[in-house]
Each structure stands twice: as structure tokens, then as C-alpha cells.
Amino acid sequence: MSFPILSSILLAPVLGVLIILFIPQKEDKVIKIVAALATGLTVILSLIAYAYYDQSIGGLQFVEHIPWIDELGVAYGLGVDGISLPLVLLTAIVIFTGVFASWGLEKRVKEFFIFLLALVAGVFGVFLTTDLFFFYLFFEIAVIPMYILIGVWGSTNKEYSAMKLTIYLLVGSAFALIVIIAVYLYTGLGTFDIQTLTQQTYDIGFQKFAFLLLMVGFGFLVPMWPLHTWSPDGHVAAPTAVSMLHAGVLMKLGGYGLIRAGIFIFPEGAKFWAPVIAILCIVNVVYGAMVAMAQKDLKFVIGYSSVSHMGYVLLGVASLNTLSISGAVAQMFAHGIMTALFFALVGNVYNKAHTRMIADFGGLAHQMPRIAAGFVIAGLASLGLPGLVNFVAEFAIFVGSFRVYPVLTILAISGIVITAVYVLRVVQNVFFGPRNPKWDGLEDVRGIELVPIVILCGVLLFLGFFPSLLMELINNGVDPFVQQYLTTPKVGGMF
Amino acid sequence: MAINFSLIIPEMLVAGLGLLVMIISLLVPKDQKKGLAYFTVFGLIGVLVVLYFMIDAQGTLFNGMYIVDPFGSFMKILIVLSSIMAIILGVEYVEKFITGFLGEFCFFVVFATLGMITLVSAGDFITLYVALELMTISFIILVGFGKNIFRASEAAIKYLLLSALSSGVLLYGLTLVYGAAKTTSINGVMEYIAQGETAPILVLGIIFLISGFGFKISAVPFHMWTPDVYEGAPTPVTALLSVASKGAAFGVLLRVFMHALPGNQELWMPIIVVLTVLTIVLGNFVAIPQKNIKRMLAFSGVAQAGYILLGLIAFSTVGVSAALFYAMIYVFCNMGAFGVIIAFSQAGGGDEVQDYNGLWKRSPFLAAVMLASLLSLAGIPPLAGFVGKFQLFRAIMEQGYVWLVFVALGMSMVSVYYYLLVAKAMYFKDPHEDSQIKVNLPIQITLLAITLITLFLGIYPTPLTNLATQVAKTFF
């Protein structure tokens, strides 16, 4: 058997937790270095996995399979394909930069990194596993550390937000759990293996029932309007690294689950419910963007912009064709990087200025040119400027969805205009304009604080110029499924 | 017919141990009984080893009055394990708060254990009742023997009165069933019911049985005693009461309903389903406003009893095995939580949830154990409680109770809320005082072992699931 690269990705953060457990609380530098090494290892391993993934073969690769609970037929199965590999890479990049974004942390450092690494182990698990039981298990592992991370190290109404987020996420996953058990019993094969379950046929009634539950369950995570209210609260309350991980990666679990467990296992159910998702996601896009426009707190702007952008992912999912689903996966990746960059920047500003109110700032580019530059790049990515990876993703989604839902797609594209309005408004009010002497004491980011900004901007630009590196891989993962299970996409839609 | 006494070695050992401890306790001075407690612990560990090796043993004694089978042995392991943990966790507590009564604590725990392990092996209503009373009376004494604790006396009186009532109800139920079946043996009742007759008197008897057992497992609406008694009793006793007595009552409940009454399950199943739903819903909702951590755990225990009942509702090998699995891990989770409460109150802390503010600072170890135990109770992976709930849900969904899965799962999410309130106090708040909490070595080792087992069974449950499945085949 070859080197278990995926298990290593999963276990690297766990190893980090174990090492940190034995480091005394006061040696916080050592703790941070261990965390950086552990997460750095995941980046390297995911890049190796990316490099060695053979696109000419496609499908699940680096597969590991160990029977786990005989009685239930659960197996510890890992594997990646063109859909999950980019998301694994995303997780690794976001957490690695997240560790650097928390470099200045001084309060209860040891526990912070223990919970952060535990959280990320869960997230990796969700993307890596090929077994529905473990899918659920890893997801729940990620939730509780998040509760503590937000509640202890957060800001702005943190206890309320932490509890709200936890309950919402758990309720969402409960819907998924019911489907997991139901599909397990329905097939009677005694397995939770996603590939095996995908190959089965289910009667139409069951598919509708199962997909509805998954739609609601994963809708909580994505988040889909009107189930989204936990997300801006959670983003705002969370400490920087957790916001990055949360908006950058955790919301993607919903989209990923909807594609992997929803569409591919229950294609007929998906066809039945897709118009509902399509309509709700337009509310996401337009309403999210409008609410973002009205916010006074920088983090709330980004929180609602995430709601808006995840609407595009849902639109791609709902259109059910290769192009749109590939676009959705790419958008998850692109949005993850972009929003992590946003949160890293806002975290830096907040650490230095101790406020996030847009009205307090003005002309910050004079004092903080590097942050301003980073913010402009993220902002342009957010409004889908060509040359940044988000453009590619959104373009693919729109082209794919226009065939199915022309009217809705046009509405969604209008969301970009609103996005441009609020992004540019923020950039203008915070960074440009006359120099504000109140902030003259602020230092720009430097040294280690620059690491996340440089890496994340780099990824946005690099993949913006070479989108094929990402898109081909994703296409390779999505296309076989779509060809096999969604061969005749339901054209026409509701309008 | 020759009697195969080797089958009841554990019972004889426990009885002998109890008497021995009682005699030794009379001989040693009042302030030198710590050693005695550890002697008891090692005696019970010996019993545990014997039980482990005879888990496959099968046979009946005394003309079917006593049944030894894997199911019974599994429950006995569960009970003896809880007693061991309760004594280790309770030694210091009893020394400190009920000075001079450590010897009594030990041998009454052993006698209660004897009652419980006999109960799960009872093959006859007479044995069943005698064992139940041995257990109950020992517990009444244990609940009330903290005579300088005001609440304990109140709790003991309450427990005494309500137990007497419930025993009466149960006994009445047993006589009615006897009246219909004309036999007191469980096998005899099974044969009678298999003939397909349903006398109204039998129905009434079964309803009384459900109420009687419902009291012991604290199912709604027979749960009223639970919070008061749990709150008032010395904490080690509460811990034992919450796991072992509940486990034993479940053992006998499963045996009677799966073994004697499967013939007319359409008769009593609706009652059990209604009780289960009430138990899960009410237990979880009422736990939310509780300010006292022992009361909160009492209501959470009520809810957990409802979850174990799901295994009976499923009425299948999978269901029973899931219930057994859940009952076993429930022992570890609950003992972990109560162990922390014991260690905390020894250090002078109160029982209110807000007393736990900032526990992470005063003792990161206790806070971590509490968190792991509560999350396991809530069914959050990677802890054992999750696997248990998963199997229960799967078992009932297999029988078509999809709506019940919705209810149980929804309530499980409600439970996360109040468990997290404790986590919130422990991790988010600042402590009232800064002193570090010292935990003595035996408690530390026990709590560490409990937590590791909870974690291990959550990550790799196969050993216990296989055992539970094998044991559950007793009934099918």
C-alpha cells in the first residue's frame, strides 16, 4: 500500500493538538510555531495530492479503506476526486494563513490552538471521507470547538452568537442524519459508502423526501435564505482565524454536501427541488447584497457578502449541469480564499484600531497602504473582476445557469452590480479620502502579519491568470457524475 | 436436578464481600476505613473479572427462578462497574461530609449491587420482587445516611414513600399477571401469552408493571422523585442511583417485556411509545431552566432513559443491542459528570451551575472531563454517546418510526443547549475565586479512564457493538 497521504492530512492537525497539549501555557511562541508547522504540513500534503492526482484516470484516488464498525458496516474510507481535492486545498490554505492571522493572540493561547486544530481536523475529515457516517461524524466534530472558540475569544455579542451558530448547525446536520440513516436502511446493503450509494437507484418518492431533508439540512450550513441568520452573527462574533475558517471553509461543507450527497445520490429528487433552491438563492444574492450595503460594521458587510456569494454557489448547484456545478465548486474555492482574505484584513484593522465601524475610518490608505491594497484586491475579487479567480467561477455558473433559468440568472447578475456598490463604498469610506490624523499612530501590517495577506492575494491572482489549473480538475470530478446521473437536465425551469 | 452453583459465583462473591466488609467495618476504628473502601473496590474488581469470563455462560437455576445468560451478565458488568466507580469517586466525599460512615457506605453499596445483579437475572416474579426490594432498601439508606445533610433526609423520605408506592403498584401488577397466567415464572407467562389469550386482567397487570418499572427508570410521568432525590442525596449515591439502579431496572424491564410479553406487544407497545416520547420531550425541556447541576443531570437522566427505551420500541436485535450499548456508555458519561461534581464539591464548590464559572482556570482537567461527559450525553462525536444514539435511531427507523427519529433527534439538539450552558459557565466566565482545585490521585485516574473510554468508544466502538450484538441475541 502506498503512503496514506490523506490520512496524514487528517492527522496532521490532530498531531498538532497532541503536541500542544504538552506544551506549557506560557510558552505561547512554541505553541504557535507547532500550530503553523502542523497546518503547513497539511498545505504541503494537499499540494502533493494535487500534483499526483491523475486527471487522466479521474474518480476517487488515494483511496484508503479500513472496516470500522462491523455491526453497522461503517468503514473508515478516505479518497479525493476533482470536487473534494480543491476544497481540501482550500481548507489547508485558509487554516495555514489563519494561524498566522492569530499570531498576535495573547489570551489563553494554548486552548485556542487546541480547539482551532481540532476544528480543522473535522473540516478536513468531511472533505476527505468517502463514508456518509464519517461525513456526519467529522462535521459534528467541527461544530463544538467553534462554539468555544467564538464564545471565549470572540467579540460583539459572542455568547449569543456562539450558541445560535451551534444550534443552527446541529439542527441542520440533524436533517442530514435522518437521510443518512434512511438511505442506509433503504438500500439494505449495510454500507455507508458514498460511491456505492450513488450507484443505487431509488424510487422517486424517496428521492424527493431525502433531497428535501438534505436541502433544508445543508441549507442551514450554506446558508440558504431564510436559514442564514446565524451566519453574519457568527462571522462577526468569531475571532479572526475562526471567521476565516468559518466563512472560508465551513459554509462550503453545505455546498459540498448538497452536491456530493444530494445531487449525485438523489438526482431525481434534485431535479424536483432545484427550482426551489434557484428561487431562494436569488433572494440570497440580492437580499444579502442589499443588507450588506446597509451595514455599519465592516465584519457585518463581509458576513452578508458571504451570504450573497454563497447564493451563486446555490444557483450553480440548482442548475444541474456540468458547467454550473463546476462553477459552483470553483466559486466555493474562490469565495473561500477571498473571504478569508477579507477577514484577515479586517482582523488586522480591528487589532490596531479597536473599532470596525466604517464611519470611524477614512483615508486609512495613508497609514496602511498594504492593508488597503489587500482590501482592494479582495474587493475586486468580490465583484468578479476578470483576472481574479472569482470571475472564472462566477462566469461558469452564469453560463451554466442561463440555459436553465435565464430570468433568475439575470437577477443574479444584477447582484454583482449591488456588490460593486457596497464593496466600492467600503473601500472608499474606509481607505480613501483625506488623511485622518486620528489614525496616524497606526502601523501598517509587516513581518509575520503579512503572511496571510500575501498568500491569499497570491492564490487569487495566480489562479485568476491560470484558471485551468483549477477548472480542469473540478470539471474532471463533476463531469462523469453529471453525464451518468443528470444526462437529460431538465431544461426550462420555472420561468 | 443438580444445581450448577458455578453459574452464580458472582452473586455469591458479592454477598460474601458485603458481609465481610460489614464485619471488618465493625472491627476497625472509625477513622481508618479508607483502606476498607479500596478493599471493597478490589473485591468488586474480582467479581468483574469473573463476570467477564462467564459472559457466555447460560443456564437456569432453582427451577427457572434464576436465569443466567449473556444478557444478564452484560447488565451485571455494567452494574458492578458503576459500583466500583461510585466507591472510588465517593471515598473522599463520604470521609469529608459524612464522617465516620465510610464502612456503611461501602457495604450498603455492595448490598445494593447484590440486589441489582440479582434483579437482572430474575426468572420469576418472586425473585424479581425480592431483588428489587433489596436494591431499593439499600438505596433508601444510602440516600438518607448523610444525616447531617438536611436535604438528604428529605430526599430519603421522599424516595422511601414513592418507592413504597411504586413497589406496591408493581406488586399489584405482578399479582394480576399471575392471576391471569397462573404462574409466577417468566417462562410460564411467555407460554401463557403465546396461547393467544388476552384477559382484561392481564392488560391491567401489564399497565401496572409499566408504571412500576417506569418509576425505577424515572420515565415521565413517574419521574417526579428524580430531581429531588438526586439533588438531596450524597453525590456518590446520586451517581450510583443514576446509572446502576437505572441500568438494573432497564435490565429487568427488557427481560420481562422482551421475554415474557412479546406475544402481545401490540397491546403495550403504544403505551411504551407514548411514555418514551413524553420522557424524551419533557426531560429535555425541563432540564433547560435548571440552575442546580445535579437537578439538571437528573432531568437529563430522565431524557436519557427515554432514549434507552427506544431500543425496546425497536423490538429487534439491533434495537436491544443499541440499548445495551447506550446503557453502557451512559454509565461512563454520567459517572464522568458526577465524578467532576464530587471532586468539585470536595474542594468547597457548590452545586449551582454558576459555581462552575471559570472552572477551566481552576482545574483544566476537571473542566475537560465535564465537557467530554456532557457532550457525550448530548451525542456529539467523536464521543461514545453519538454512536449510541446513531444506533438507536437506526434501530427505530428500521421499524418505520421515522417521526420518532425526528422527535428524538430534535430533542437531542435541545439537550445540546443546556449541556452547553455548563460548558459556557466553565469556559467563558471568570472564576469567583482563583484557587486551584486539587484532585486526588484515585479520582484523577478514574476520571481519566472514563474520559479515555468515552473517547475511544466514540472513535472505535466496534468492540462494544460486537459484544452488545452478541448479547442481544439472547432474546431472538
Say yes or no to pLDDT of A366 above 50. yes
B460 CA to chain A: closest CA distance, Å?
A: 7
Say yes or no to pLDDT of A490 above 80. no
The tens digit of pLDDT for each residue in A236-266 reads 788 888 888 888 888 888 889 888 888 888 8
Q: Which residues of A touch B390 (CB under 8 A)?
A: 72, 133, 177, 181
A73 to chain B: closest CA residue? B462
Per-residue confidence at A487, pLDDT binned at 50, 70, 90? Answer: low
Q: Which residue in B387, B409, B469 is closest to A174 by CB distance?
A: B409
The tens digit of pLDDT for each residue in B427-447 reads 888 888 878 888 888 899 999
Q: In sequence order, which residues have a C-beta less than 8 Å from that of residue B285 and are 6 or more positions away?
A: B411, B414
Q: Which residues of B touch A182 (CB under 8 A)?
A: 397, 402
The tens digit of pLDDT for each residue in B91-128 reads 888 888 887 788 888 989 999 999 999 999 988 899 99
Q: Which residues of A touch B461 (CB under 8 A)?
A: 69
Cβ-defined contacts of B98-102 (< 8 Å, 24+): B98/B145, B98/B146, B98/B147, B98/B148, B98/B149, B98/B234, B100/B30, B100/B31, B101/B145, B102/B33, B102/B34, B102/B36, B102/B37
- Asked if residue B295 lies in contact with residue B230, where contact means CB atoms within 8 angstroms, the answer is yes
State whether A69 and B402 contact (CB < 8 Å).
no
The tens digit of pLDDT for each residue in A126-151 reads 999 888 888 888 888 888 888 888 88
Tell how strand B59-61 and strand B66-68 pair up.
antiparallel
A144 to chain B: closest CA residue? B380
A436 CA to chain B: closest CA distance, Å?
A: 37
pLDDT at residue A72, as a whole number: 79
- Asked if residue B86 lies in contact with residue B336, where contact means CB atoms within 8 angstroms, the answer is no
The tens digit of pLDDT for each residue in A419-446 reads 888 888 888 888 887 877 777 777 777 7
Say yes or no to pLDDT of A494 above 60. no
A482: number of CA atoms within 13 Å, CB side?
22
pLDDT at residue B96, as a whole number: 85
Interface of B with A (CB under 8 A): 321, 360, 375, 380-382, 386-387, 390-391, 393-394, 397-398, 402, 405-406, 409-410, 412-413, 416-417, 420, 423-424, 427-428, 460-462, 465-466, 469
Residues A421 and A416: their CA atoms lie apart, in Å, by 9
Tell how strand A74-80 and strand B59-61 pair up.
unpaired
The tens digit of pLDDT for each residue in A397-415 reads 888 888 888 888 888 888 8
Instruction: Please return the burial class of A134, using the count of CB atoms within 10 Å of its CB with bins 0-12, 13-18 and 19+.
Output: buried
B251 CA to chain A: closest CA distance, Å?
A: 22
Q: Which residues of B touch A138 (CB under 8 A)?
A: 381
Q: Which residues of B touch A137 (CB under 8 A)?
A: 381-382, 386
The tens digit of pLDDT for each residue in B3-31 reads 778 888 889 999 999 999 999 988 888 77
Q: Which residue in B397, B428, B469 is closest to A181 by CB distance?
A: B397
Looking up cell 465481610 gives B20
Q: Which residue in B397, B423, B462 is closest to A68 by CB distance?
A: B462
Q: Which residues of B touch A154 (CB under 8 A)?
A: none
- Asked if residue A115 lies in contact with residue B360, where contact means CB atoms within 8 angstroms, the answer is no
Per-residue confidence at A386, pLDDT binned at 50, 70, 90? Answer: confident
Residues B235 and B144: their CA atoms lie apart, in Å, by 12
Give the three cell numbers for residue B159: 424516595
DSSP helix/strand/coil, A404: coil
A72 to chain B: closest CA residue? B391
A219: enclosing H helix or E strand: helix A204-221
Q: Which residues of A touch B397 (CB under 8 A)?
A: 178, 181-182, 185
State whether A185 and B390 contact (CB < 8 Å).
no
* Spans of all domains in chain B: 9-260, 263-476
Taking Cα atoms as reference points, which of B86, B67, B87 lies closest to residue B75? Answer: B67
A309 CA to chain B: closest CA distance, Å?
A: 29
Looking up cell 438534505 gives A214
| pLDDT (mean) for A359-387 | 81
DSSP helix/strand/coil, B307: helix
The residue among B383, B422, B424, B471 with the most chain A CBs within 10 A of its CB, best to mutate, is: B424
State whether A136 and B380 contact (CB < 8 Å).
no
State whether B402 and A166 contact (CB < 8 Å).
no
State whether A159 and B375 contact (CB < 8 Å).
no
Per-residue confidence at B281, pLDDT binned at 50, 70, 90? Answer: very high
Q: Quick count: other Cβ atoms within 10 Å of Cβ B153?
A: 16
Q: Which residues of A touch B424 (CB under 8 A)?
A: 151, 159, 163
Lowest mean pLDDT among A284-298, A473-487, B223-237: A473-487
The tens digit of pLDDT for each residue in A290-320 reads 888 888 888 888 888 888 888 888 888 888 8
Residues B9 and B50: their CA atoms lie apart, in Å, by 8
SS3 letters across B372-430: HHHHHHHCCCCCHHHHHHHHHHHHHHHCCCHHHHHHHHHHHHHHHHHHHHHHHHHHHCC
| pLDDT (mean) for A452-460 | 86
Say yes or no to pLDDT of A78 above 90. no
State whether B381 and A171 contact (CB < 8 Å).
no
- More confident of the two residues B195 and B417: B417
A165 to chain B: closest CA residue? B417
The residue among A25, A108, A144 with the most chain B CBs within 10 A of its CB, best to mutate, is: A144
State whether A170 and B410 contact (CB < 8 Å).
no
Percent of chain B with pLDDT over 90: 33
Interchain CB contacts (distance < 8 Å): A and B: 81
- More confident of the two residues B145 and B342: B342
Q: Which residues of A touch B405 (CB under 8 A)?
A: 178, 181
Residues A313 and B286: their CA atoms lie apart, in Å, by 41
State the amino acid at position A244 in one-letter form. Answer: M
Q: Report the mean per-residue pLDDT for chain B.
A: 88
pLDDT at residue A495, as a whole number: 35
Per-residue confidence at B131, pLDDT binned at 50, 70, 90? Answer: very high
Per-residue confidence at B2, pLDDT binned at 50, 70, 90? Answer: low
B404 to chain A: closest CA residue? A178
DSSP helix/strand/coil, B246: helix
Does ipTM exceed 0.90?
A: no
Task: Give the burial string for A281-317 (b: 16+ CB within 10 Å, else e).
Answer: bbbbbbbbbebbbebebbbbbbbbbbbbbbbbbbbbb
A142 to chain B: closest CA residue? B381
B265 CA to chain A: closest CA distance, Å?
A: 23
